[in-house]
């Protein structure tokens, strides 16, 4: 849930924003199709789920992300309170700063989203953006453009960006994901089918058709088997793990659902199955 939101626009597009979240479990990130973003996490923590990885962000971290389908998720054991300050990059606006050729043909970006080290200069810059968001009348259009260019130059001077032009090119060239790899990397995450389809950048109908063609069975059948396989391995390997923790770690919504599915497959409840493997039983 977004409790507070402030934004400054340039030519109808959001360029600076500040958002305060509370009590969230999973939210779709708020980029449009061609945006890139630098975000500073001023309070709280979150995990960013991209199609091929989950990245942890903690207070004081920066995030650089290009356009793509991501989820912001609440880490286990946290209260789900966040405060973020973001600067959005739009291709036409950004490329106009740099008259040299920004051809993307020979540049191969190696990231979709990543942690970005926040040094003193970046921290001071984001503090300044926070002040502007509190006083939008003090932010004329020429200052907006100047601040965006300043941030790009700051980011481009780090070890992660070999040149300004290459860095800008990398922001707007799509990162190619492998469909099979995306499914397998997220097969035991607690994602609904619509959420997994979104992560694969597909409609639900297209996702189901492609999934069945590739794996030879429905998504529900395949994903349930993957979750059960992981749960079975964990039950056998870790005699001290709580059944509840295993259920959630394997992507089940509730312990009740996990017990039901596990017993249907194995003929025994998780606790009974672990006892039958001569493992030490553990109360839930």
pLDDT tens-digit map of 75-93: 888 887 889 999 998 887 8
Q: State residue 231's pLDDT score.
A: 94
Answer yes or no: is 99 within a domain.
yes
Choosing from 116, 149, 172, the residue where a domain stops is: 172
- Do 52 and 90 belong together in one domain? yes
Average pLDDT, integer, range 216-223: 95
Q: State residue 108's pLDDT score.
A: 47
Residue 7 has pLDDT above 90, yes or no: yes
- Do 196 and 256 belong together in one domain? yes
Among candidate residues 228, 190, 230, 226, the one with its CA nearest the CA of residue 211: 226
Answer yes or no: is 18 within a domain.
yes
Choosing from 172, 206, 225, the residue where a domain stops is: 172
Among candidate residues 40, 86, 36, 96, the one with its CA nearest the CA of residue 66: 36
Residue 21 has pLDDT above 90, yes or no: no
CATH for 75: 2.60.120.280
Q: State residue 186's pLDDT score.
A: 95
Q: Tell me the per-residue pLDDT of 94-131, one tens digit each, with 9 for 90 and over.
A: 877 776 544 444 444 556 788 888 989 999 999 999 99
Average pLDDT, integer, range 40-52: 92
- Do 123 and 88 belong together in one domain? yes
Q: State residue 96's pLDDT score.
A: 78
Residue 58 has pLDDT above 90, yes or no: yes
- Do 13 and 43 belong together in one domain? yes
Q: State residue 203's pLDDT score.
A: 92
Q: What is the DSSP string of 151-206?
A: HHHHHHTSTT-S-HHHHHHHHHSPPP--HHHHHHHTTTSS--HHHHHHHTTS-HHH
- Do 25 and 158 belong together in one domain? yes
- Do 127 and 52 belong together in one domain? yes
Answer yes or no: is 123 within a domain.
yes
Q: State how beta strands 82-89 and 36-43 pair.
A: antiparallel
Answer yes or no: is 282 within a domain.
no
Q: Residue 251, by phi and psi: left (phi above 0), alpha (psi -120 to 50) or beta?
A: left
> In whole angstroms, how large is the CA radius of gyration of the chain?
22
CATH for 262: 1.10.10.60
Apex 47 CA angle, 152 and 208, nearest 5: 105
In total, how many domains does the chain have?
A: 2
Q: Tell me the per-residue pLDDT of 236-279, one tens digit each, with 9 for 90 and over.
A: 886 778 999 999 999 998 999 999 999 999 999 999 898 887 64
- Do 164 and 250 belong together in one domain? no
Q: Tell me the per-residue pLDDT of 182-193, one tens digit each, with 9 for 90 and over.
A: 999 999 999 999
User: Is there a contact between 29 and 70 (Cβ–Cβ < 8 Å)?
Assistant: yes
- Do 186 and 155 belong together in one domain? no
Answer yes or no: is 283 within a domain.
no
Structural domain boundaries, residue 75: 2-172
Residue 33 has pLDDT above 50, yes or no: yes
Q: Tell me the per-residue pLDDT of 145-164, one tens digit each, with 9 for 90 and over.
A: 999 999 988 887 776 565 56
Q: State residue 105's pLDDT score.
A: 44
- Do 167 and 185 belong together in one domain? no
Higher pLDDT: 100 or 21? It is 21
Q: State residue 27's pLDDT score.
A: 82
Residue 32 has pLDDT above 80, yes or no: no
- Do 135 and 29 belong together in one domain? yes
- Do 259 and 130 belong together in one domain? no
Q: State residue 223's pLDDT score.
A: 96
Answer yes or no: is 145 within a domain.
yes
What is the DSSP-derived secondary structure letter of residue 79? Answer: -
Answer yes or no: is 284 within a domain.
no
Q: State how beta strands 82-89 and 53-58 pair.
A: unpaired
- Do 191 and 167 belong together in one domain? no
What is the DSSP-derived secondary structure letter of residue 74? Answer: P
Choosing from 129, 145, 172, the residue where a domain stops is: 172
Rounded Cα–Cα distance for residues 123 and 199 (Å): 31
User: Is there a contact between 83 and 46 (Cβ–Cβ < 8 Å)?
Assistant: no
Answer yes or no: is 281 within a domain.
no
Q: State residue 66's pLDDT score.
A: 79
CA distances from 226 to 55, 56, 146, 251, 261 (A): 22, 24, 50, 10, 12
């Amino acid at each position: 849930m977004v409790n507070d939101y402030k934004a400054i626009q340039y030519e109808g597009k959001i360029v600076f924003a500040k958002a305060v979240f509370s009590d969230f479990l999973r939210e779709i990130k708020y980029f449009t199709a061609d945006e890139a973003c630098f975000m500073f996490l001023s309070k709280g923590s979150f995990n960013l789920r991209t199609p091929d990885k989950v990245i942890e962000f903690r207070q004081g971290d920066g995030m650089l992300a290009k356009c793509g389908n991501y989820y912001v998720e609440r880490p286990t054991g946290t209260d789900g309170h966040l405060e973020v300050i973001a600067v959005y990059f739009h291709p036409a606006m950004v490329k106009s700063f740099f008259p040299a050729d920004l051809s993307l043909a020979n540049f191969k970006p190696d990231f979709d989203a990543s942690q970005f080290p926040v040094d003193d200069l970046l921290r001071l810059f984001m503090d300044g953006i926070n002040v502007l968001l509190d006083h939008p009348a003090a932010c004329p259009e020429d200052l907006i453009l100047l601040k965006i260019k300043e941030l790009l130059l700051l980011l481009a001077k780090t070890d992660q960006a070999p040149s300004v032009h290459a860095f800008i090119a990398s922001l707007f060239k799509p990162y190619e994901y492998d469909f099979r790899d995306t499914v397998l990397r997220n097969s035991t995450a607690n994602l609904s089918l619509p959420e997994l389809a979104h992560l694969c950048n597909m409609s639900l109908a297209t996702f189901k058709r492609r999934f069945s063609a590739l794996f030879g069975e429905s998504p529900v059948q395949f994903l349930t088997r993957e979750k059960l396989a992981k749960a079975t391995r964990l039950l056998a390997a870790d005699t001290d793990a709580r059944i509840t923790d295993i259920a959630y770690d394997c992507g089940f919504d509730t312990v009740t659902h996990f017990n039901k599915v596990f017993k249907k497959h194995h003929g025994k409840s998780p606790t009974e199955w672990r006892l039958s493997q001569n493992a030490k039983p553990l109360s839930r």
